[in-house]
Amino acid sequence: MSRIGKSPVSIPEGVTVSVKDGVVTVKGKLGELTQEFSDIDVKVEENEVVLERPSEKKVFKAKHGLYRALIQNMVEGVSKGYTRELELVGVGYRASNQGQKLDLAVGYSHNIVIDLAPEVKVETISEKGKNPVVKLTSHDKQLVGQVAAKIRSLRKPEPYKGKGIKFVGEHIRRKAGKSA
């Protein structure tokens, strides 16, 4: 049996989990998330969510741990939330935001303006002598990761000088330049 799949998901205070017609709905103080599930039986028992698979077929084994992890992410998201931080490394790289519009100056001829989903809260931090940081916060882990990856793809960090948009704490493998 899947090690991840067989461990139950504990439900913290202030979070409600309901299952109806293969759709799991998780509500908490930060919002509400829904996810459709098939092939796996999802049961809510007291303060735990238990997942069981109908048989030992490969299809059910593959989805068992995945669905448990998705429910765990949903429960953690509506109770605590998720944050991703991106750092802009480079001379003249800037970031600012007005509401849900993120304005990035990352070395192209024009600034890049991105409209973010209303579920994602954006904050830009610019301190003198430090690289600008873009902080993304939401209750949906998938959405935060997708938005962060999209922003990073605008100017990926390059291996020679390390310039570009990188996650805070990400290590860039550096290459030596030309040997003279």
Q: In what order do the strands lie in the sheet with 16-20?
A: 16-20, 23-28, 31-36
pLDDT at 165 over 80: yes
Q: How confident is the model at residue 62 (pLDDT cuts 50, 70, 90)?
A: confident
Banded model confidence at residue 2, pLDDT cuts 50, 70, 90: low
> Is the model's pLDDT at 5 over the cut of 90?
no
- SS3 track for 130-147: CCCEEEEEECCHHHHHHH
**163-168 mean pLDDT:** 95
Burial classification of residue 150, based on how many CB atoms lie within 10 Å of its CB (0-12 exposed, 13-18 middle, 19 or more buried): exposed
pLDDT at 163: 94
* CATH code of the region 82-167: 3.90.930.12
pLDDT of residue 38: 86
Note the CATH number of domain 3-79: 3.90.930.12
Q: What are the boundaries of each domain within the chain?
A: 3-79, 82-167
If you search the block for the tokens 């048989």, which residue do you land on? 55
Q: Which residue has the higher pLDDT, 5 or 72?
A: 72
Q: Let me know if the fold of 3-79 is the same as that of 82-167.
A: yes
Q: What is the pLDDT of residues 95-142, one digit of tens each?
A: 999 999 999 999 999 999 999 999 999 999 999 999 999 999 999 999
